[in-house]
Amino acid sequence: MKTRVTVAVLVASVLGAQVAHAQAIQNVVLRNSFNPIGAGARGLGMGGAFIAVADDGTASSFNPAGLAQLRRTEFAAVGFTDRLNSTVVVPTTGAEQQSFESHVRHERPDFFGLSLPFDVGGHNLTVQVSYQRAVDLFGQGRATVQDTIALADLDPDLKGTGDVIADIVPSQSGAFQTVSLSAGYQVTSRLSLGASVNYWFAHWTAQGQNTFRLRVRPAGSSRTVEVPLVTTNFIQQQKVRGLNVNAGFLLKYSRLSVGGVVRLPYAGDYNLTEGDSEVAFDQGQPQPARPIAFDVKTRLHWPLSAGVGAALRPVRGLTLAGDFTQSHWSRTSIDDVPAGALLTPEKRDVNGNPEDSFTNRNFFDLLPSSQTETGDTSQWRAGGEYLVTFIPKVVVPLRGGLFRDRSPVSELGTSEGRRIKGWTAGTGLNFAHVVLDVAFERRESEGVVSLRLHAGQPVNLASAPHETVREDRVVASLIYRFADNDPLKRALRYLFVGPEEKENP
């Protein structure tokens, strides 16, 4: 029997290697939206529809042209807490099924900004320096793939079939972050233009385990027997550095505002450090590890995205807003990925020996750029705000909104990414110099989560794992508005212009 198990281990190890290198870990973890959205509890409380509003200290993250509306120096700070709940149901033999749940929570600062307005030739110019956690990468995923084989392929004396099953369980943490210098200028009483120069720096880690096993049902028995095969532990450290420009406009009338923003693409320096160790099992006993490592330095191409918005003020204190954004994720690619890195397929010669190979690959599905199934996505957001005044100089806003979005990672069996829907609610307190806002956001999505066994092989959606995701986020903002003649502006005037001249009596 030991000989048969050893043969099974060797054959299944080969099958396991094919599964492990067939698709990227990104498919399992990166299932939420990557569409850009600004920071701040006020904008988020309105469903994120803030492109045509953008009139507080978080304006540059939505539309830099909105900075021109600020008349006093403002300091803004934003933070969030996020809880991600995921349930994966894996169909098995007959009516059986397995269910796996994960609950991940973390808290982070989201935005800091200091805005300084100046009068230039009778028109307002506002400059802002800021930090934003632009894309948050965290969570845990799971995918299960299964391949049915004839047991005779393992041992001629064996009859029937068996299932080679792979469980891939990665977790991820990190973010794409920006440090920005922005400016908004009031060209006319109605039209404002703005721009941001953004330095991107990203660092994230993906790590986890791939486990392979063989499941058979002996003749005459109702029970299944599973034999452990191969386990692979992996860790991926990825970094990006780059520079891009955002540009926006804001056209404002008494009851209507229209805005737009374009986030230009960039090519940034991309570094990957990857290592894993493969452990083979013989009758459940681990064997010595075989380390594998990659150290890659190349370029990541981040795509163009653009959004437009409108805001209507039908009555005093009421604002209704809507935004539409589109992002070209199919053009997000990594140059010259070596075969085997990021769990991509290894190229081998006719004798089965590995060959050096470098391919440009899409960031999300890691298929060759010319063959990627990653789709461009559109995002709709709508919301409103109503201001209630209880006592003089104390205003309480009531906010709410809805949004519809898609993940850039295509679902198996479809040509589109997973649909994401959600709602938001928020409120706050407005004082003469201090604004406190809080917002709650609920995101929900569901779909198939699985990896392909072999390129071109059809996927059995009925036996593929199904996942339900719910994400709850609470965002809090603090904005401090300085007095009209604040000491910071006086210091800057003294530094760049000189001391103020006193009028003669």
**Euclidean distance between CA atoms 16 and 453, whole angstroms:** 9
Judged against a pLDDT cut of 60, whether residue 150 lies above it is answered with yes
Position 316 in a domain: yes
Question: Given a cut of 60, is residue 95 above it in pLDDT?
Answer: no
Q: Which residues pair with 100 in a beta bridge?
A: 88
Per the model's pLDDT, the better-predicted residue between 197 and 485 turns out to be 197
C-alpha 38/C-alpha 44 separation (Å) is 8
Task: For residue 242, give the nearest of 271, 273, 272, 266 by alpha carbon.
Answer: 266
Q: What are 166-193's pLDDT values in tens digits?
A: 778 888 889 999 999 999 999 999 999 9
Mean per-residue pLDDT over the chain, rounded: 83
Contact at 8 Å (CB) between 234 and 210? yes
| Residue 10 structure tokens | 């060797």
**Per-residue pLDDT band at 1 (split at 50, 70, 90):** very low
* pLDDT tens digits, 39-82: 999 999 999 999 999 999 999 999 999 999 999 999 999 999 99
Confidence of residue 11 (pLDDT cuts 50, 70, 90): very low
| Domain count for the chain | 1
Judged against a pLDDT cut of 90, whether residue 450 lies above it is answered with no
Domain assignment present for residue 362? The answer is no
Q: Is residue 398 part of a domain?
A: yes
Residue 501 maps to a domain: no
Work out the number of other CB atoms within 10 angstroms of the CB of residue 254: 7
3-state helix, strand, coil in the chain (%, to 5): 10, 60, 30
Residues in contact with 142: Cβ distance below 8 Å, sequence separation at least 6, in sequence order: 28, 86, 88, 100, 102, 167, 168, 169, 449, 465, 467
Q: Is residue 376 part of a domain?
A: no
* Nearest-angstrom CA–CA distance, 170 and 232: 11
- How many residues does this entry show for the chain? 505
Q: How many CB atoms lie within 10 A of CB 7?
A: 14
Residue 451: per-residue pLDDT: 57
Which tokens hold the place of 46?
A: 């309105």
Read off φ and ψ for residue 183, nearest 5 degrees. -150, 140
H or E segment at 280? strand 266-282
Q: How far apart are CA 270 and CA 289, in angstroms?
A: 29
pLDDT of residue 211: 79
**Is 120 inside a domain boundary?**
yes
pLDDT classification of 14: cutoffs 50, 70, 90: very low
In the beta sheet, which residues pair with residue 473? 82, 441
Predicted local confidence at residue 384, as pLDDT: 97
Is the model more confident about 333 or about 88? 333
Number of CB atoms found within 10 A of residue 168's CB: 27
What is the residue range of 112's domain?
2-233+244-351+381-496
User: Which DSSP string corresponds to 366-390?
Assistant: -SBGGG-----EEEEEEEEEEEEEE
Residue with token string 């198996």: 412
Question: Using 50, 70 and 90 to split pLDDT, how confident is the model at 374?
Answer: confident
Token couple for 104: 């991940």
CATH of residue 14's domain is 2.40.160.60
Q: Which of 128-142, 151-165, 414-428 has the lowest mean pLDDT?
A: 151-165
**Residue 259 pLDDT:** 98
* Gap between the Cα atoms of 230 and 210, Å rounded: 8
Taking only the tens place, the pLDDT of each residue in 376-414 is 999 999 999 999 987 777 789 999 999 999 888 877 666
Coil vs helix vs strand at 220: coil
Q: What is the pTM of this model?
A: 0.86
CA distance 99 to 81: 26
- Contact present, 445 and 421 (Cβ < 8 Å): yes
Q: Which amino acid is at 288?
A: P
Residue 199 lies in a domain: yes
Residue 486 has pLDDT above 80, yes or no: no
Given this model, what pLDDT does residue 24 score?
53
CA pair distance 379, 53, nearest whole angstrom: 18
- Assess whether pLDDT exceeds 70 at residue 354: yes
Residue that wins the pLDDT comparison between 32 and 130: 130
Cα distances (Å, whole numbers) of residue 284 to 213, 214, 227, 280, 495: 10, 12, 7, 9, 73
Report if residue 366 sits inside a domain: no
| Beta-bridge mates of residue 105 | 83
The tokens 């374009």 sit on which residue?
262
Residue type, 166: A
Residue 113 contacts residue 58 (beta carbons within 8 Å):
yes
Give, in order, the Cα–Cα distances in Å from 112 to each of 79, 132, 193, 231, 394.
9, 7, 22, 43, 25
